[in-house]
Amino acid sequence: MFNKRVKIKELLTWQAQDQQVTVMGWVKTFRNNQFIALNDGSTNTNLQVVVELGKFDENLLKRVSTGASLKVEGTLVASLGKGQSVELKANKLEVLGDADPEKFPLQPKEHSLEFLREIAHLRFRTNTFGSIFRVRHALAFAIHKFFNEKGFVYMQTPVITASDAEGAGEMFKVTTLPFDKTPRNEDGTVNFKEDFFGKATNLTVSGQLEGELAAMAFAEIYTFGPTFRAENSNTTRHLAEFWMIEPEMAFYDLEDNMNLAEEFIKYIIKYAMDNNREDLEFLAQRLQKEESKLPQDQRSSMSLIEKLSFVVNNQFERITYTEAIEILLNSPAYKKKKFQYDVKWGIDMQSEHERYLVEKHFKKPVIVTNYPAEIKAFYMRQNEDGKTVAAMDILAPGIGEIVGGSQREERLEKLEARMKSMHIPTEEMWWYLDTRRFGSVPHAGFGLGFERMVLFVTGMTNIRDVIAFPRTPKNAEF
Ligand code: ATP
Ligand code: MN
């Protein structure tokens, strides 16, 4: 029976009273043929298993090497050693799976993140990735908890979609047509009538449009699922497959939308701080060590924990796009020509601009509203000025854009006119426009990139390190 095992995290909270317990896990280190540091993924703190000299067969002990898996039955005793209050005196020791020390790539020393990406199937066993993925789990749980407490309905929107009008990014095609002998129309184009769905389909870039449909009945819904963008941008903030949370709310305007997004972000960060203290402290130390290699002026002024508390306890700055451009134009960075990309009203702000606003100017998360219509999607509500739309992006220190949202255009004529001017086929989007025909209401929503949130909370700097098996250009291993 395997389920008698006690998790190490729990065991470490017990008082030693000679209890007989069974633990299972993987060997981190084995010192002096006597002390096994055992880890089972429940915490970074290892359990010290003490092997009495002479008690076990030498051949068995030889198999206790870094990476091997063990089942240990023993007696929980007070520890005399430093750093732990209890340890397990082994009575029975079983190697469940060997790990040839000549071949096992993880050694009890520090490995580079680049190297660990190449062995992503094993990197969960390191302290860094143990902490990251426990925090990722906590954030995911907190997201559902937050919306559930507010009475939102969790919608699962389709992964395969036929709408190609979202304009959120390049799409991956989904097809069962053969690459050779592709069926063609007379004009030479691909005949998708012969395809699986009888039309061209792709992987979703966002669940928003379908989310809006549901919000027109349940009033408040959210999605939390994978999205796909074939954008060939090899940055530290873009994945080809990432997870997005997209709440969509009827009877919300832009301000309600901002309030919800801010409350939401604070809630999930606080949840991780309250429930994953040990992991966050570990990650804070890791970050500090990492930053100590940088010149003084590139180091953070706050520790990771301080930064998170700061975000939880302070109001986000709220400015309009027009004000943001003013700030950039008046910045020393602009005057000294430090920006690579030009600044003027109408630009789609580059990450260097966003980071200037949050990291240098405001030194806190910033919500930028009312962007030029030209650079935003068709569904955003048109403002009275005829130039801007009721959009809001939330920019976070170290990350740049973490949330993109807007009040949606609920007025049928305005929406249709905008779609026509953007050459979006209104006939194909009949189902979307129907919600504006039948009981349309003011509504709003936003999308939070889950991995960007995990980056922010863990203090990691490359998005490839906060998703288990990253998909990026030229990389789909594992
Ligand atoms: P960016 O300008 O950073 O590419 P975007 O404007 O394309 O972002 P949206 O379409 O508004 O982003 O998507 C909503 C959210 O999804 C973003 O705020 C971001 O957090 C996240 N996101 C967007 N693209 C990616 C990606 N390729 N990988 C990971 N997260 C992403
Ligand atoms: Mn993008």
E strand intervals along 183-327: 201-203, 220-228, 241-250, 317-320
In this model, does residue 69 exceed pLDDT 80? yes
Which ligand is in closest contact with the Cα of 229?
1
Which of the listed residues 242, 347, 465 should we mutate to test ligand 1's pocket, taking the one with most ligand atoms within 8 A of CB? 242
Write the DSSP symbol of residue 185: -
Which sign does the torsion angle of CA 306, 309, 314, 319 carry? positive
Reported as a single tens digit per residue, the pLDDT across 434-473 is 999 999 999 999 999 999 999 999 999 999 999 999 999 9
Write the DSSP symbol of residue 22: E
As assigned by CATH, the class of the 2-109 domain is mainly beta
pLDDT confidence bin for 1, thresholds 50/70/90: low
pLDDT confidence bin for 211, thresholds 50/70/90: very high
Mean of the per-residue pLDDT values for the chain?
95
H or E segment and range at residue 76: strand 69-78
Q: Under a CB-based contact definition with an 8 Å cutoff, are residues 6 and 22 in contact? A: yes
Reported as a single tens digit per residue, the pLDDT across 136-192 is 999 999 999 999 999 999 999 999 999 765 666 689 999 999 999 999 999 999 999
Q: Under a CB-based contact definition with an 8 Å cutoff, are residues 229 and 451 in contact? A: no
The angle at the Cα of 152, spanning 148 to 153, to the nearest 5 degrees, equals: 100
Q: Which of 28-32, 151-155, 165-169, 299-303 has the lowest mean pLDDT?
A: 165-169
At position 133, the amino acid (one-letter code) is F
At position 226, the amino acid (one-letter code) is P
Q: Under a CB-based contact definition with an 8 Å cutoff, are residues 415 and 433 in contact? A: yes
In this model, does residue 226 exceed pLDDT 90? yes
205 in contact with ligand 1, CB cutoff 6 A: no
Please give the structure tokens belonging to residue 63.
Answer: 């198999």
What is the structure's pLDDT at 2?
A: 62
Of all protein residues, the one whose alpha carbon is nearest to atom 29 of ligand 1 is 238
**Looking at residues 203-232, what average pLDDT do you find?**
96
449 in contact with ligand 1, CB cutoff 6 A: yes
**Looking at residues 54-77, what average pLDDT do you find?**
97
Q: Which of 224-228, 296-300, 399-403 has the lowest mean pLDDT?
A: 296-300
What is the structure's pLDDT at 165?
A: 58
**Looking at residues 328-335, what average pLDDT do you find?**
96
Reported as a single tens digit per residue, the pLDDT across 33-45 is 999 999 999 999 9
Which of the listed residues 166, 243, 452, 455 should we mutate to test ligand 1's pocket, taking the one with most ligand atoms within 8 A of CB? 452
What is the structure's pLDDT at 168?
A: 61
What is the structure's pLDDT at 420?
A: 94
Q: What is the distance in A from the centroid of ligand 2 to the CA of 367?
A: 18
Residues in CB range of 135: below 8 A, 6 or more apart: 272, 276, 279, 280, 283, 454, 457, 458
What is the structure's pLDDT at 29?
A: 97
Burial of 137 (0-12, 13-18, 19+ CB in 10 A): middle
What is the structure's pLDDT at 378?
A: 95
Q: How far apart are CA 409 and CA 40, in angstroms?
A: 51
Q: How far apart are CA 198 and CA 74, in angstroms?
A: 63
Q: How many CA atoms lie within 13 A of 139 on its CB side?
A: 29
125-170+205-465: CATH topology: BirA Bifunctional Protein; domain 2 (3.30.930)
What is the structure's pLDDT at 166?
A: 62
**Looking at residues 204-212, what average pLDDT do you find?**
96
What is the structure's pLDDT at 81?
A: 79
Q: No. of H helices and E strands in the chain?
A: 14, 16
**In whole angstroms, how large is the CA radius of gyration of the chain?**
27
Q: 3-state class of 144 per DSSP?
A: helix
Q: How many CB atoms lie within 10 A of CB 425?
A: 12
220 in contact with ligand 1, CB cutoff 6 A: no
What is the structure's pLDDT at 231?
A: 85
Kindly report the backbone phi and psi dihedral angles of residue 316, in degrees, each rounded to the nearest multiple of 5, phi listed first. -70, 145
Which ligand is in closest contact with the Cα of 350?
1
**Looking at residues 246-270, what average pLDDT do you find?**
98
Of all protein residues, the one whose alpha carbon is nearest to atom 12 of ligand 1 is 404
Q: How far apart are CA 97 and CA 116, in angstroms?
A: 22
What is the structure's pLDDT at 84?
A: 85
Q: What is the distance in A from the centroid of ligand 1 to the CA of 447?
A: 8
At position 173, the amino acid (one-letter code) is K
What is the structure's pLDDT at 4?
A: 87
Work out which ligand 1 atom sits closest to the CA atom of 405.
11
399 in contact with ligand 1, CB cutoff 6 A: no
Q: How far apart are CA 390 and CA 406, in angstroms?
A: 6
Work out whether strand 388-396 and strand 400-407 pair parallel, antiparallel, or are unpaired. Answer: antiparallel
**Looking at residues 246-255, what average pLDDT do you find?**
98
In this model, does residue 57 exceed pLDDT 70? yes
Burial of 445 (0-12, 13-18, 19+ CB in 10 A): buried
Q: What is the distance in A from the centroid of ligand 1 to the CA of 119?
A: 27
Which ligand is in closest contact with the Cα of 232?
1
In this model, does residue 305 exceed pLDDT 70? yes
What is the structure's pLDDT at 126?
A: 97
List the domain boundaries for the chain: 2-109, 125-170+205-465
Kindly report the backbone phi and psi dihedral angles of residue 203, in degrees, each rounded to the nearest multiple of 5, phi listed first. -80, 140
